[in-house]
């Protein structure tokens, strides 16, 4: 089972916007920055659009770049996202209720 990286430098979204009943949180991160271990009461999708990330969750360790398809992060399951390269961009997408 993957371990959480407690050394991630937490970053907030660069942009937050909504479209077609979805909320998009767009992040710009450098190496070692990202989102610390957390969970949500709803599932959401994450995609890396440039650079490289690793997504750790309860049963997964997934390195992602622009060529990797989005992954779904389930509700109530811990996860974290860490940038592995400077200039990384990733997006988390939530359905608005």
Domain ranges (residues) in the chain: 9-95
d(CA 26, CA 14): 6
**Residue 59 scores a pLDDT above 80:** no
Q: Mean pLDDT check: name the lowest of 19-28, 53-62, 75-84.
A: 53-62
Q: State the distance between the two ends of the chain, measured CA to CA, in whole angstroms.
A: 32
**Residue 12 scores a pLDDT above 90:** yes
* pLDDT, position 2: 66
pLDDT > 70 fraction of the chain, expressed in percent and rounded: 98
- Whether residue 66 contacts residue 31, with contact meaning beta carbons closer than 8 Å, is answered with no
The arrangement of secondary structure in 9-95, i.e. its CATH architecture, is Sandwich (2.60)
pLDDT band at 97, cuts 50/70/90? confident
> Mean per-residue pLDDT for 11-17?
97
> Mean per-residue pLDDT for 64-87?
96
């Amino acid at each position: 089972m993957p371990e959480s990286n407690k050394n991630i430098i937490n970053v907030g979204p660069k942009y937050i916007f909504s479209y077609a009943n979805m909320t998009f949180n767009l992040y710009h991160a450098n190496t070692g920055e990202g989102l610390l271990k957390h969970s949500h009461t709803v599932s959401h999708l994450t995609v890396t659009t440039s650079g490289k990330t690793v997504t750790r969750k309860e049963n997964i360790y997934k390195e992602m770049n622009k060529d990797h398809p989005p992954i779904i992060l389930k509700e109530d399951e811990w996860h974290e996202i860490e940038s592995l390269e400077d200039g990384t961009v990733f997006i988390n997408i939530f359905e608005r209720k």
